[in-house]
Structure 1
């Protein structure tokens, strides 16, 4: 999770005093990097995925499941057995926000050959098996986006959803002062608690997350929670919404991300723009988080929850009070969709008002940075640093980048444009960030391969997905709604060809760009975007299949890729459920569910047990994975619900 500096964290007041220092030197560090590698070309394609996991413990006797706060110990063990013993170990492990979370990546980045696609799932299996091997009895490694918890354990001041159990402390000093989320559930690395505390201090109040509740047959209308011991919560919570008040409810969720190395800065900027339009589509396709704080919500994706959980904007910056102490009105949280395209072809579609630091913008222009990149960086740098370590204040700007990364890594957007680290052989990169993590390694591999393969097709066919950025923002809002994959309509470009390059339509017939569209974009269903519709759009899957037909691919790799694309195709058409829809159906059909939008401890337990069984191939789930899902040769679980 971003920059993990070691040292003594400063208080918010001390950090704020150094904010201009960090911004000033962060820009100098960026300029050193830019001028050193701006003309760098012919970097080979490399890419890698990041999977975030939750550690859970099953109490089979009492039918209860809890988050295990042992992430730091598990991480230490995995690193000691892995990369510290063997630098070429096939997996790497890193900390995440929650003390119940870890992040796994491949030990080495994947390369540009097609055969690499056939190694992704195997590596993910190795990660799951490796981490599971160091867990205790009745513990498991789960790839679930949002832990449902239960209505009992997440009510005012009640412990229960963590192991060991801790009681939240909203009154006395602490990082979050949450009514529901104990500070002990935050990773012990000082960056995470400091981020939590400083976001709250900068904002001037606790973060506010309100998620619409799903109105079932017996859900109270209006649905209202009362918080008599907390005036702040009483004012912030909304009727018919699930109220949450801590960074942990957002950053404590899990996700799936992919990072690509481009051959040059121009290619990286092109991919950044093109993939930005795909973000809401893939987010809706990967929807996996319908439950929050023990309630059934009316959304399927975590994005807006995380956005609110780290929203450090003051009342002035949110437009609720006149500007006096702050410099800008800021339209979004620092965790949101991108605000400007970076490539020349995207410039005309930059229709969002962009707030920038004008002095930084002029400085960048004077240093030879072009307008589009200058405004991108000047926009990122309207933000304050949220953490600063005493040992990292004064740095060598020519050889270090901590101040630049301090700002860069706390602008958590759908896409991230990543300059090379100083003095490294790493190239210009882009990070694709909107995906929800899936239950199985097969699903996670399918989404990763789909996105990576799409980048190959974008570059090979010079595809153009660009639409006005305001329409991408509208798509992001639609993508988070319940069943958006089936019911949502998304703005998408009709003619995705550039320079007369041919693609295929849904019937396999080649079409030129002049035949495809009259208007640039229109509203489409995800089924149309992914699978195509005659006379409307060729479909991304048919285009990918066409690309594969023209590539030299061994039989096993081709079979794997086609299986992955089949999953994506069927999720888009509705033939297979998203994880979010499957979870909703599971709870709705649970014998204890009273159609009141409440998830009890036992329901939560049953759901996570089932998720764990599916993840480790201990049971079939054709409605989620299809009838022909392949069996895994090992059981990666240390727990069996039959106990």
Structure 2
């Protein structure tokens, strides 16, 4: 979660008066940090994950599931029992945008030894049990990306009606203000984004057209003042609030690098694995770019920061306008933390022992701790291989953008094709100048590949990430228990990529499609939603197996030779 200042929030008219002030001092704060720690070397390789949870109530009598809006109380209880009592508590808890959401992280970052991979799932299990222990009867945690009936009538507990006409924060037709976290940052952010836009947020997602779905599918909005009718597209689901994005859950990993050079290298290489703005052709603030260059910042880093600072500050507190730029970084973080990109380059906080970090942000949260651990360990292992072998995954921004579009298509894992670099060992970095000039001179270095080819490899095309990770593991000293754990995780990734196991999205679609009450009309009823999330809860708690989604991972308590065999591509 981003910057959570305390104080008196300013409305948009007041905030925009200070926009230039925030940008000016934000750059000064960045330069102060940079000049103090640019030469810093040999920081320890640390990392940690962030899991976001939804709080839900399972109403057995009415066969209905609702999001519980007591995240603030749950969070306070967890912090009182945890970090406020014991600074070395194994878990930390933080707020999220939705008042039905909480975020859990390990109490201390993981280190650089291989044995750390053997503790990730255990810590995630601690978080799930710890949070579950303070919930009320019939309440549970859900690690799902999106609540299926988010924005439908009666989706919250307690139930609140949206306030589209009255004075409110989002003025949404579907998402009540009470579903937003009570911290003033979130309501201020929501209100100021709407005021800055001059209209509500507009989200149109193509509806899944089934046999009985009306065609064209056109929604009617009884309480609409005309804005929704103008914004909604035929054959699309229309949404009008930040909560439909910020109110979803994800899985994130942050890495501390040894130096700024290593952090930048990781940032660029990992960018290929998620759709993000790379250091190529960017919209930048030219004045800020020149200021950074004049201050000795190199061209690529200057472009990155100057791109972030084309934005306006969206949330500002009266007490945080005039700051000590030598010892505070709130103005820099104000703009940094409200750029919700899928990668984030994070300078050290002022006067701290924290190093240069990179945050990997695009992963959807998974149903079980096993799956979430598998994705986290896969990405962390990938960073170790990138650094150890000096791999080169860079492709032009235009191709990353095309990959983003392909990734949004239904069943992209099995049917999508993605641009990926063929020879990652050459170390021939794509020339920035060529990309800026629109040249395709590096086109022979990347081709379209399936996810299966990228992850598992294909003879004569690409060796595959799993075989590369296997090679790395074979050259490392790893105890048998840890090796078995890692190979279980890689097996899940391998089988998901090949289509042998379902992704969570496909599994949920098939569950709905096969439900006896589904009428092939694209509607998820309360009953369908209840049965789906009851099944999810049972699987997440280990009460029910789901081999089509998770496979059959080997229990670490019964380690044997066969479970630790190398995964073949």
- Normalising by the smaller structure, the TM-score range is over 0.9
Q: Which of 235, 243, 247 does residue 248 from structure 1 map onto?
A: 243
1:542 — aligned with what? 467
CA contact (8 A) 1:617 1:632 kept: no
Tell me the equivalent position of 2:159.
165
Matches of 1:389 and 1:228, distance apart in 2: 37
**What's the counterpart of residue 564 of structure 1?**
489
Name 1:520's counterpart in structure 2.
445
Task: Confirm or deny: 8 A CA contact 1:617 1:631 kept in the other structure.
Answer: no
Deviation readout 1:324-374 (Å, 9 max, x if unpaired): xxxxxxxxxxxxx43233xxxxxxxx2x3x111111111101100011111
Q: Deviations over 1:397-430 (max 9, x none)?
A: 0000000000000011111000000001111000
Partner of 2:422 in structure 1? 494
Runs of 5+ consecutive residues of structure 1 not aligned to the other structure: 280-336, 342-349, 501-516, 634-643
Distance 1:628 1:338 in 2: 33
Partner of residue 390 from structure 1, selected from 318, 322, 327: 318
**Offset from partner CA, 1:534-577 (integer Å, 9 cap, x none):** 00000000000010000000000000000000000000000000
**CA–CA distance in 2 between the matches of 1:414 and 1:498?**
26
Q: 2:171 aligns with which of 177, 185, 192?
A: 177
> What is the correspondence of 1:225-244 to structure 2 with a 5 Å cutoff?
225-230=219-224, 231-244=226-239
- Structure 2 equivalent of residue 506 of structure 1: none
The alpha carbon displacement at 1:220 in A equals 1.0
Residue 61 (1) aligns with residue 61 (2): yes
2:112 aligned counterpart, secondary structure: coil
Aligned counterpart, 1:340: 278
Is residue 258 of structure 1 aligned with residue 196 of structure 2? no
- Name 1:147's counterpart in structure 2: 147
- Alpha-carbon distance change, 141 to 373 in structure 1, aligned in 2, over 3 angstroms: same
Q: Name the CA shift for 1:274/1:592 in 2 (closer, same or farther; >3 Å).
A: same
Q: What secondary structure does 1:412 align onto?
A: coil
Q: CA deviation at 1:228?
A: 4.6
Local SS of the residue matching 1:257: strand
Q: CA deviation at 1:628?
A: 3.9
Aligned residues: 544
Paired position in structure 1 for 2:478: 553
What's the counterpart of residue 116 of structure 1? Answer: 116
Please show how residues 289-438 of structure 1 align to structure 2 within 5 Å: 337-341=275-279, 350=280, 352=281, 354-438=282-366
- The answer (yes or no) to whether the contact 1:98–1:187 under 8 Å persists in 2 is yes
Q: Distance in 1 between matches of 2:20 and 2:557?
A: 53
Residue segments in structure 2 that go unaligned for 5+ positions in a row? 429-441, 559-569
Contact 1:228 1:234 in 2 (8 A): no
Q: Of residues 438, 446, 454 in structure 2, which corresponds to 1:529?
A: 454
| Contact 1:223/1:239 (8 A) holds in 2 | yes
Please state whether the residue corresponding to 1:141 is helix, strand or coil: strand
Normalised by the length of structure 1, the TM-score is 0.83
Aligned to 1:594: 519
Separation in structure 2 between the aligned mates of residue 589 and residue 629 of structure 1, nearest angstrom:
29
> Is the Cα contact below 8 Å between 1:181 and 1:248 reproduced in 2?
yes
1:499 is displaced (CA, Å) by 5.3
- What's the CA shift string for 1:450-488, capped at 9, x where partnerless? 000000000001110001111011101111211101110
Match of 1:134 in 2: 134
Is this contact kept in 1: 2:173–2:223, CA < 8 A? no
* Shift in alpha-carbon separation, 1:587–1:390, aligned structure 2, 3 A: same
Name which of 495, 509, 526 aligns with 1:584: 509
Q: How far apart are the structure 1 equivalents of 2:483 and 2:557?
A: 19
Q: Which residue of 2 aligns with 1:344?
A: none
Match in the other structure for 2:546: 621
1:505: which partner in 2?
Answer: none
SS at match of 1:368: coil
Secondary structure (helix, strand or coil) at the match of 1:413 reads coil
Q: Within 5 A, what are the aligned runs for 1:471-486?
A: 471-486=399-414
Q: Distance in 2 between matches of 1:554 and 1:607?
A: 39
Q: Distance in 2 between matches of 1:604 and 1:188?
A: 27
Q: 2:562 — aligned with what?
A: none
DSSP 3-state at the match of 2:313: coil
* Candidates 182, 185, 188, aligned match of 2:182: 188
Residues 31 and 519 (structure 1), Cα distance of their counterparts in 2 relative to 1, 3 Å cut: same
